[in-house]
Amino acid sequence: MAFAFEKLIVYQKALDLADRAASLTEQFPRGYGFLADQLNRASLSIAANIAEGNGRFTKADRSNINRMQI
């Protein structure tokens, strides 16, 4: 069974962005490894943050949100 966030269009687009970044950074000239690594990690971070944020709606999280709004 797939996780709920995997169905989100924004998550799928984030994965596409990470794939594009990886393929583009493969073409970087020698000496740009640090920049390539940073771009790859940043693009993957978008998808990871979406996945993490989607799991933040457990019953305990909702009760914390309700207490903060009072």
| Burial profile 22-61: b = 16 or more Cβ within 10 angstroms, e = fewer | eeebeeeeeeeeeebeebbeebbebbeebbeebeeeeeee
Cα angle 19-25-29, degrees, rounded to a multiple of 5: 165
Residue-wise pLDDT for 2-58, tens only, equals 788 888 899 999 999 999 999 999 999 989 989 999 999 999 999 999 988 877 766
Domain ranges of the chain: 4-68
* 45: Cβ contacts below 8 Å, ≥ 6 apart: none
Is residue 70 pLDDT above 60, yes or no? no
Q: Phi and psi at residue 37, in whole multiples of 5°?
A: -65, -40
